[in-house]
Structure 1
Amino acid sequence: MDVLISIKPKYVNEIINGNKKYEFRKHAFKKPVDYIYIYETRPIMKVTHKFKLTDVIIDTPNNIWNKCSSVSGMNLSDFSRYYQNSNKAVAIKIDKLETLEEPLSLSDLDVKQAPQSFIYLNH
C-alpha cells in the first residue's frame, strides 16, 4: 500500500537538497506502507516525488526534535508550532527519494483533493 502526503515546496526543496531526512506528522500510518508519494502544495500543486518507507520513529515532540533536529530541514520554532498541544510526534525517514519523470496531478491518482495529513492510495 502507498500513501500520498502534502508538503510545502520549501520543505520539498530541503528534502531534495539533503537537509531534510525526516518528514514529521502527528499521526502514524495504521496500515503497512511501501511508498510515500509527495504532493507539493501551492504553487506547484503536483505529485513530484516518492520515497520508500524504511523507518518511522514515534515519540514525544521533544525527543523527536532531539533525535532528528540536525536533519529536520526546519527550525525549532516551526517544529514547535506544528506540534503545539501534541504529546506524540511521528518522524518518517525519507529514504531512496525518486523524482517522478512526469509530475502527476491528483486526478491521475484518483484523488479529489490534497490530503491534510495523508491518504492511502488505491493504484
Structure 2
Amino acid sequence: MGKLSGKIIEAFAATTQGRTEDVGPSLRRLRLLSNLTQKEMALRLEVQQAAISKIEKGGDVHLSTVRKYVEALGASLRIDASFPADAPLALSIRDAFDVEFGNDDQMVLPLLGDEPFKAQRDVVLSIRPKYTDKILQGSKTVELRRRFPVSAPSGTIAYIYSTSPVRAMVGVAEIKDVLKLPIDQIWSEFEDTAFIDKPDFDKYFEGRDFGFALLFDDVRTFSDPIPLSKLREQFGFEPPQSYLYAKRDLRRALKDESSVVSH
C-alpha cells in the first residue's frame, strides 16, 4: 500500500471562501495518491467513514483536522507565511540574512512544521567561547540547539562564530548528522560530549519537548580568526542568535580561508 511518507504537504491561508472549499478535495486527492479508501482512512483516524466523506466534500475544516489527516497519510503538514519582497519584515530580514524568495518575489517563513533546509547551503553557528574552544580542540563533538532544520544533509558546512568577548569567526566543521530528540534523551546521550552543565541545559531547553543535536566531524581551526569588525565591513555580517545561512560573498571568502586552516 502506497503512502506519502517523508513528503511535505504545503498548506496556504485561504483568502477567499472558494480556496477554503478546496481543502477537502485536495485531501481527497492525497488519499487517492496513497491508494487508501475512505474506510481505511477512517480506521487510521479512528472516526466513522461518514466523517471522512464530510471532510473531503469541502467547507470549513479545522487546522487540527487537516494536520491529523495529513499525518495519517504518513506525511507532515507545514504552514508558511508568505510576505511580499517589499514588506517591512521582509526587508529587515533580507538585510540581515541571505534570504531566498519564492514565486512572485515572496519571502516564505515557516509557521508550522520542521524547518526545511535550503539545499547546498553553508551555515554560520553562533557559539559561546567556552564551547568553541572545546569544539576546536576536538573534545566537544555535538552542538545543541532549540531549533535547526533536521533535513540538513550530511556534510553541511558550518562556520563557527565565537561570541563575545572573542567576537570572531574561528573555524569550520562538517555537520555529519542532525538529530531531533526528546529533551531527556538528548541529555542521556550527549551529556559527556556536549560539555554543558545540567542547570544550563535545563534552562536552555525550558519549555521545549524536543531539541536538536548537531554532530560534528572534520573540525578545523582558522589560522587567523576573522574579527567581527572585518566581517561587518566587508560582508555586512551580523552575528545570529542561533544560526543563519551564509551569504554568497561570505561563503566564498570563508571557503578561501578554510583552505589554509590548521588541523
Using the size of structure 2 for normalisation, the TM-score is 0.44
Shift of 1:37: 0.6
Matching of residues 1-123 of structure 1 within 5 Å: 1-29=121-149, 32=152, 34-104=156-226, 105=228, 106-107=231-232, 110-123=235-248
Of residues 96-105 and 62-71 in structure 1, the stretch that sits farther from structure 2 once superposed is 96-105
Deviation, structure 1 residue 78:
1.0
Name the Cα RMSD after superposition.
1.9
Greater percentage in helix: 2
Larger Rg: 2
Shift in alpha-carbon separation, 1:52–1:111, aligned structure 2, 3 A: farther
Greater displacement, 15-24 / 53-62: 15-24
Q: Aligned partners of 1:109 and 1:29: how far apart in 2? A: 28
Equivalent residues of 2:150, 2:178 under 8 A apart: no
Task: Provide Cα deviations, 1:27-83, integer angstroms capped at 9, x if missing partner.
Answer: 122764620011101111000011011111111111111111111111111111100
Instruction: For 2:179 and 2:152, locate their aligned partners in 1 and report how far apart those are by CA, in whole Å.
Output: 15
Which stretches in structure 2 are left out of the alignment for 5+ residues?
Answer: 1-120, 249-263
Match of 1:71, SS? coil
Unaligned runs of 5+ in 1: none
Contact 1:26 1:83 (8 Å CA) reproduced: yes
2:105 maps to which residue? none
More strand by share: 1
- Give the TM-score, by structure 1 length: 0.89
How many residues matched? 123
Q: Which shifted more, 72-81 or 28-37?
A: 28-37
Higher RCO, Cα 8 Å, sep 6+? 1
User: Structure 1 residues 120 and 108, CA, compared in 2 at 3 Å: closer, same or farther?
Assistant: farther
